[in-house]
Amino acid sequence: MADKSFEKCILCIGAGYVGGPTMAMIAAKCPRYEVIVVDINARRIEAWQSDNLPIYEPGLLEVVKQARGRNLFFSTEINEGIRKADIIFVSVNTPTKTFGEGAGRAADLQYWEKTARSIVAAADRDKIIVEKSTLPVRTARALERILSANDKGIHFEVLSNPEFLAEGTAIKDLEKPDRVLIGSQETESGLRARNELVDIYANWVPRDRIITSNVWSSELSKLAANAFLAQRISSINSISALCERTSADVTEVSNAIGMDTRIGKRFLNASVGFGGSCFKKDILNLVYICENYGLHEVARYWESIVRINEYQEERFVRTMTRVMFNTVADKRIALFGFAFKKDTGDTRESPAIYVTRMLLAERARVVITDPEALENARRDLAEEKGDVLYEQDPYSAAAGAHAIAVLTEWDLYRTLDYKRIYDSMEKPAFIFDGRNILDHQKLHELGFSVFPIGRPALKHF
Ligand SMILES: NC(=O)c1ccc[n+]([C@@H]2O[C@H](COP(=O)([O-])OP(=O)(O)OC[C@H]3O[C@@H](n4cnc5c(N)ncnc54)[C@H](O)[C@@H]3O)[C@@H](O)[C@H]2O)c1
């Protein structure tokens, strides 16, 4: 039971990009609940207890500080947390399987299953279990089987409550979500559990934004939402390739099509490609599920979203090599940004990893700069052979470089002194704007040869 002073005890297993911010928001908004976040990774928990949080997310520290020590606690005592909790959110990682059947596509559910087994072993009364991780549709059924295989007479009610936050805007997304989705069984205990979870969110989310469904729809909605978002990026990126051949300008095309209210403006920026821990993994997971049900055409359709993304990353580096006189060997290339998007230090599946690998394969000398992601970049590239440097300061990164490639849309890169940068670089100086965020005309006037995505290049030769 929760401490007498608290109405309810909520536990979250998994203190990552989702578990940490989500629970911090619940704790901040609901001082009457005790919220405990546990993880097997002691270093991560220690960081959550400090002011040097394990993840960078604007506004997160303020929210954590509001509740930490009051009703928000971080701990490695997983069994104790399980015993105490009335509701258990499970937010462990569900990466793509790298071995055995379904390798490279199916979700690796080992962390998820281990968690379920820990819950069964430690629990001594009925609990509500909430799937917060993104899972293949119908995982709740498997989970229920594991949970109900107990001889303690304990009932676990499994709900699906996928998380739709985006890294970089997690706090805003959690504070004012477009919607909260809760999937439950239509049984009496299922509906009771669902209402209990609705009541938690209703502390700050308007009721009409809390929607409910059956468990399978809820699980599938998360995979489908990520597939649709990624599909928009791959769609505009495929058009960007055609723009580059026809002198059409992808920013003009995306503006023109985005003004159609049926299409809408968002997620229509052409770029070097999408990254992040979720899009690729969730689409591949969807592909795997479709194949399992014999829906091969549907699987091929969604798989092509990932293929276009890989094509776009590859095309970016091929353009770099081609325009730099067909060789980048021994040339210093400064990568502006390594995170998969701005306002996060997360580099999982970042296009920058792929671009770096390809440049190193071409024997370029790569210098990486990023305001938040250098530590992760070092880890990602630890095994790579070749010449890689890390520079916090973008001016130092660019000094002596033959080219700059903008790979993350950090606001900082829009406001640098590019005259100073140009003067410090080898000539001819190239900029490859993989995010289309810079003022290309101005850069061209300064002397740069500029290669945007899906827009005519501005050259000096
Ligand atoms: N990152 C996002 O933007 C995002 C958004 C929505 C949904 N999701 C989904 O949420 C889930 C978590 O993603 P994340 O980015 O927070 O992952 P993460 O890797 O940052 O965090 C997962 C944490 O779970 C811990 N863990 C693993 N096994 C454990 C166990 N048995 N007991 C206790 N802790 C354990 C790990 O140590 C890690 O700290 C994934 O399913 C992901 O698809 C992620």
Query: What is the whole-number distance in angstroms between the Cα of residue 300 and the centre of ligand 1?
Result: 28
Q: Which two tokens stand for residue 172?
A: 């805003």
Query: Which residues fall within 8 angstroms of residue 101, CB to CB, at 6 or more apart?
Result: none
Ligand 1 pocket check for 133: Cβ under 6 Å:
yes
Which residues are known catalytic residues? Answer: 278
Verify that 267 and 201 share a domain, yes or no. Answer: no
Verify that 183 and 235 share a domain, yes or no. Answer: no
User: Is 215 inside any structural domain?
Assistant: no
User: Is 210 inside any structural domain?
Assistant: no
User: Is 387 inside any structural domain?
Assistant: yes
Ligand 1 pocket check for 107: Cβ under 6 Å:
no
Query: What is the whole-number distance in angstroms between the Cα of residue 115 and the centre of ligand 1?
Result: 12
Ligand 1 pocket check for 165: Cβ under 6 Å:
yes
131-135, 359-363, 391-395, 438-442: least confident range: 131-135
Question: Which atom of ligand 1 is found nearest the CA of 14?
Answer: 24
Verify that 324 and 292 share a domain, yes or no. Answer: no
Q: Point out which residues pair with 368 in neighbouring strands.
A: 335, 390
Mean pLDDT across the chain, nearest whole number? Answer: 96
pLDDT tier, 3 (very low <50, low <70, confident <90, very high otherwise): low
Query: What does DSSP assign to residue 432?
Result: E
Query: What is the whole-number distance in angstroms between the Cα of residue 91 and the centre of ligand 1?
Result: 5
- Mean pLDDT of all residues in 66-85: 98
Verify that 377 and 228 share a domain, yes or no. Answer: no
Query: What does DSSP assign to residue 30?
Result: -
Element (H, E) at 422: helix 418-424
pLDDT digits (tens, 9 = 90+) for 255-300: 999 999 999 999 999 999 999 999 999 999 999 999 999 999 999 9
Query: What is the whole-number distance in angstroms between the Cα of residue 90 and the centre of ligand 1?
Result: 9
pLDDT at residue 145, rounded to an integer: 87
Ligand 1 pocket check for 172: Cβ under 6 Å:
no
User: Is 262 inside any structural domain?
Assistant: yes
User: Is 130 inside any structural domain?
Assistant: yes
Give nearest CA residue, ligand 1 atom 11.
133
Verify that 293 and 371 share a domain, yes or no. Answer: no
Has residue 106 got a pLDDT over 80? yes
User: Is 460 inside any structural domain?
Assistant: no
Verify that 228 and 166 share a domain, yes or no. Answer: no
pLDDT digits (tens, 9 = 90+) for 346-365: 999 999 999 999 999 999 99
How far apart are the C-alpha atoms of 189 and 183, rounded to whole Å? 13
Verify that 108 and 193 share a domain, yes or no. Answer: yes
How far apart are the C-alpha atoms of 249 and 386, rounded to whole Å? 36
Q: Write the CATH number for 245.
A: 1.10.1040.10
User: Is 211 inside any structural domain?
Assistant: no
How far apart are the C-alpha atoms of 369 and 259, rounded to whole Å? 35
Verify that 270 and 318 share a domain, yes or no. Answer: no
Rg value, the chain, Cα: 24
Instruction: Identify which of 369, 342, 30 has the alpha carbon closest to the alpha carbon of residue 174.
Output: 30
Residue type at 199?
Answer: D
Ligand 1 pocket check for 223: Cβ under 6 Å:
no
Query: What does DSSP assign to residue 73?
Result: E
Domain coverage including residue 273: 223-307
Question: Which atom of ligand 1 is found nearest the CA of 132?
Answer: 10
How far apart are the C-alpha atoms of 302 and 231, rounded to whole Å? 8
User: Is 131 inside any structural domain?
Assistant: yes
How far apart are the C-alpha atoms of 199 and 117, rounded to whole Å? 28
Q: Evaluate whether 335 touches 405 at the Cβ level (below 8 Å).
A: yes
Handedness of CA 319, 320, 323, 327 (dihedral sign): negative
Ligand 1 pocket check for 115: Cβ under 6 Å:
yes
Q: Could you tell me the CA-to-CA distances from 235 to 44, 263, 267, 309 in Å, in that order?
A: 37, 12, 10, 9
Verify that 100 and 156 share a domain, yes or no. Answer: yes
Instruction: Identify which of 128, 165, 120 has the alpha carbon closest to the alpha carbon of residue 145.
Output: 120
User: Which domain-ending residue is among 307, 339, 365?
Assistant: 307
Question: Which atom of ligand 1 is found nearest the CA of 107?
Answer: 41
Q: Which two tokens stand for residue 371?
A: 């305001």
Query: What is the whole-number distance in angstroms between the Cα of residue 95 and the centre of ligand 1?
Result: 9
Give nearest CA residue, ligand 1 atom 15.
17
* Three-class SS state of 278: coil
Q: Point out which residues pair with 8 in neighbouring strands.
A: 33
pLDDT digits (tens, 9 = 90+) for 187-212: 999 999 999 999 999 999 999 999 99
The total domain count for the chain is 3
pLDDT tier, 2 (very low <50, low <70, confident <90, very high otherwise): low
User: Which domain-ending residue is among 205, 231, 258?
Assistant: 205
| Burial of 152: CB neighbours in 10 Å, binned 0-12, 13-18, 19+ | exposed
pLDDT at residue 139, rounded to an integer: 85
Verify that 61 and 131 share a domain, yes or no. Answer: yes
Q: Write the CATH number for 179.
A: 3.40.50.720
Q: Which two tokens stand for residue 403?
A: 């080219």
User: Which domain-ending residue is among 261, 282, 307?
Assistant: 307
Verify that 317 and 303 share a domain, yes or no. Answer: no
Ligand 1 pocket check for 183: Cβ under 6 Å:
no
Q: Could you tell me the CA-to-CA distances from 176 to 69, 109, 204, 223, 275 in Å, in that order?
A: 25, 30, 8, 21, 24
Instruction: Identify which of 358, 360, 309 has the alpha carbon closest to the alpha carbon of residue 331.
Output: 360
Query: Which residues fall within 8 angstroms of residue 3, CB to CB, at 6 or more apart?
Result: 9, 34
Verify that 74 and 109 share a domain, yes or no. Answer: yes
